[in-house]
Chains A and B, each alone.
Chain A
Amino acid sequence: MEVKTPHIKAFPYEEFRDNETLEELSRQLNEGGANVVVSKLDDLINWGRSNSLWSLTFATSCCGIEFMSIGCARYDFARFGFEVTRNSPRQADLIMCAGTITNKMAPVLKRLYEQMAAPKYVVAVGGCAISGGPFKKSYHVLQGIDKIIPVDVYIPGCPPRPEALLYGMIQLQRKVKVEKFFGGANHKEKNPHPLVIDFKGMAKEKLEEVKKFIKKEIDNTWK
């Protein structure tokens, strides 16, 4: 039983750009092989997940207006199951980062991302979120959100047209479909906050305290 190429209704496989990344992803997953029962369940769950992607309403600038446009009657992303937007990161599946992220906003974005429950996805919308866009040279603009959080889909444009946004979201759907929900998930991230302790110049009492803490942590892990 293998992870197959994802099928999107009314959008032939050959018409997508960049099928290679997806094929590489499924090849990596298939290397391990999979249990027949589990992968059947995977298919079912991924079918559900990919057709009900809930996004966090996170718009900082122009691209946010285009995000509103695709929610409305003309472009209507409810056709694909994206229509539920959440104001709380805890209930959202993905962040559509629509707009420039500045140095002052970057810690906030990082926090929002960390507050989301896994599996979670990030879509970088527009030139600013991808690389800083026209404001790249500025003293206060983050040069691409992939510097602070992992990005799944990039949608270029300034701002991208609604059609481009929809295409990007469908690409994300395909990515969700090529995933193992049980077992070898390929969307598991490494611990974002490795514990770094600087022992240099630490007072003796403090050092003892830290040692005790580490011992306790290790004990807890092994229990």
Chain B
Amino acid sequence: MEVKVIEYKVFEQEVQALKAKGFDYLRNLTGADFLEEGLGCVYQFENTKTTENVNLKVLAEKVGEEYILPSISELYAIADFYEREVYDFLGIIFLGHPDMRRLYLRNDFVGFPLRKDYDMSETNPSNQMPEDDEKDSDFTCEYTLDEEGNLRRTEKCLWMPEDYVINIGPQHPATHGVMRYQTSLDGEVIKKIDVHAGYIHRGVEKLCELGTYQQTLAFTDRFDYLSANQNRHALCMAIEQGLGVEVTDRIKYIRTIMDELQRLDSHLLYFSCCAQDLGALTAFLYGMRDREHVLNVMEETTGGRLIQNWNRIGGVQADIDPNFVANCHLLINYLRPFFKEYHDVFGGNVIFEQRFKNVGVLSKEDAISYGCTGGTGRASNWHCDVRKRHPYAAYDKVEFDEITFTGCDSYDRYRVRIEEMEQSLRIIEQLIDNIPAGDFYVKQKPIIKVPEGMYYASVEGSRGEFGAMLISDGGKNPYRVHFRSMGLPLVAVMDHVCKGEKIADLIAISASLDYVVPDIDR
């Protein structure tokens, strides 16, 4: 990955110039501790029209004891959350950021875990379980520099005195895991949502730094367990890119088929959960019934039901099962007729249409600014499919349509998923009979050392672009691994999408956005 190092002083102008040139999608933002150089960030921008990429590395300036960088959250809406994440883990203060709070960790957490000098031992009180409940603060703060160049902290209240704030989560059946929304209401209408993430933050990025390259792989499956294969695929590709390993066509084909099977699994669960969240239990059972057939096919080859642990650096764990090809054919024939049934039983239902149509509208510009990729972006007519933008594995050899809609609402987000399943079947159909002969694994050394540099690889996960950013110093442990989460933009956009909607629609909107919480929290 080509990275342009720029000075702190010209950084803001540079980003403004990029934005004016059409680089409107902030793909990823990685904060890192560069030891002697100090703390810094790597920004990845993409031009959505030309799919051109620009990567910038900028080092933070030191003011007293604090590290500072200018905020770009006015230019890119998603930078709001990304910068809070960097502040949380590395302690870089973003000047002019309107809401400089921790995003994942408790607000009384001491220290910044992703700094290299963070004490990981059990005796560190920060690593121990807190005895008391977290005290919520109603205040946030903004940092600016005064004329003499000193940091100035301005406190701001999050809520107005007349606000009626209710708390949804972390233990709530419809937040798809442990997500917490503080929601301010005007009667039934939502005025503002404050997202509290981190209830399942497991510190994977730090754990990756402590392990060897092979050991990092297992964590990726457990982010978004419904895109387990795809997540691992991304990290494997990033490491292979660093090592300069060229995998065989057979590996590419197998990986592509597995990714598509996983997508079927995820979208069927999406259909089920949408139904469940809106109270349609029959449709939920139908979706889960068919999902078991997809899992059967994967299980026969990989041995895992939900989490496959199937990709590895330089290939896959084992060759495909002798029955795999026949099973895939059976699956395709089995699933095809059911898409109509889903429409009859649920998707075409008047009640469902009224709950989903024109609810949670997200315009194309906002989708890009918030970085909402995947089905959400495509429902807003943004051609954001990584399989088309930056083809990887065997996706350049197959024909399939990128499903987009122009309705921008929850109903279209649902339709994208249903039609994508048909495309997945189409992709599998084209590949399954033509799996070329060859090795399923390109032999690697037992101790893997990736040459110094930065590597980024991304795949189209089940709910957006999943990227793995790897910074290597040439050692046997990764120096820094950062994952571009698929779900973080989707919860970041919740406040924007839900504003002005009814509180009952919050559940419908979050069901249609389809986020998985461990993927957000990592």
A residues at B contact (CB < 8 Å): 57-62, 64-66, 68-69, 72-74, 87, 99-100, 102-108, 111-112, 134-135, 137-142, 147-148, 158-159, 161-162
Contacts and interface: CB of A to CB of B under 8 A. Distances in A.
Nearest to B299: A161
B79 interface: no
A108 B199 contact: yes
Given A64-B177, A72-B289, A140-B202, A111 B307 contact: no
Contacts of B199: 60, 102, 104-105, 108
A66 B288 contact: no
Contacts of B289: 72-74
B222 A139 contact: no
18 contacts: A60-B178, A61-B200, A61-B222, A69-B288, A87-B173, A102-B201, A103-B129, A105-B199, A105-B200, A107-B133, A135-B207, A138-B203, A138-B207, A139-B118, A140-B203, A158-B307, A159-B225, A161-B305
Given A73-B292, A147-B129, 16 more contacts: A60-B178, A100-B200, A102-B199, A104-B106, A106-B129, A107-B134, A108-B133, A134-B219, A138-B202, A139-B113, A139-B118, A139-B127, A139-B206, A140-B127, A140-B203, A158-B307
Nearest to A148: B129
Given A103-B130, A135-B202, A62 B306 contact: yes
Given A60-B177, A65-B269, A100-B200, A108 B225 contact: no
Among A103, A112, A134, A140, max chain B CB count under 10 A is at: A140
A159 B200 contact: no
B32 to A, nearest CB: 17
A151 B128 CA distance: 20
Contact of A111 (B133, B173, B207, B292): B133
A66 B172 CA distance: 18
Contacts of B305: 66, 161-162
Given A73-B285, A148-B129, A61 B177 contact: yes
Among B131, B201, B272, max chain A CB count under 10 A is at: B201
Interface string B208-244: 0010000000110010011000000000000000000
Nearest to A75: B292
B171 A100 contact: no
A137 B210 contact: yes
Q: What DSSP secondary structure best describes chain B's contact surface? A: loop
A135 to B, nearest CB: 5
B105 A104 contact: yes
Nearest to A158: B307
A141 B272 CA distance: 30
Interface of B: 104-106, 113, 118, 120, 124, 126-134, 170-173, 177-178, 198-204, 206-207, 210, 218-219, 222, 225-226, 269, 272, 284-285, 288-289, 292, 305-307, 517-518
Among A60, A62, A139, A159, max chain B CB count under 10 A is at: A139
A137 B120 contact: yes
A112 B126 CA distance: 23
A105 B207 contact: no
B200 A60 contact: yes
A65 B129 contact: no
Given A59-B177, A104-B198, A137 B288 contact: no
B522 to A, nearest CB: 10
Contact of B129 (A135, A137, A142, A162): A142
B174 to A, nearest CB: 9
B173 A141 contact: no
Q: Top 5 A-B pairs ranked by shortest CB distance?
A: A72-B288, A138-B203, A62-B225, A139-B127, A135-B202
A39 to B, nearest CB: 37
Nearest to B128: A103
Nearest to B126: A139
B203 A135 contact: yes
Contacts of B178: 60, 105, 108
A181 B136 CA distance: 41
A57 B170 CA distance: 12
A107 B132 contact: yes
Contacts of B127: 103, 139-140
A111 B171 CA distance: 11
Nearest to A76: B285
Contact of A99 (B200, B272, B284, B306): B200
Nearest to B221: A62
Contact of B306 (A65, A102, A108, A138): A65
Nearest to B210: A137
B120 A66 contact: no
B226 to A, nearest CB: 7
B103 to A, nearest CB: 12
A50 B209 CA distance: 46
B171 A58 contact: yes
Contact of A105 (B170, B173, B222, B292): B170
A25 B173 CA distance: 35
B119 to A, nearest CB: 9
Contacts of B120: 137, 139
Given A102-B199, A108-B171, A61 B518 contact: yes
B219 to A, nearest CB: 7
Contact of B170 (A62, A108, A158): A108
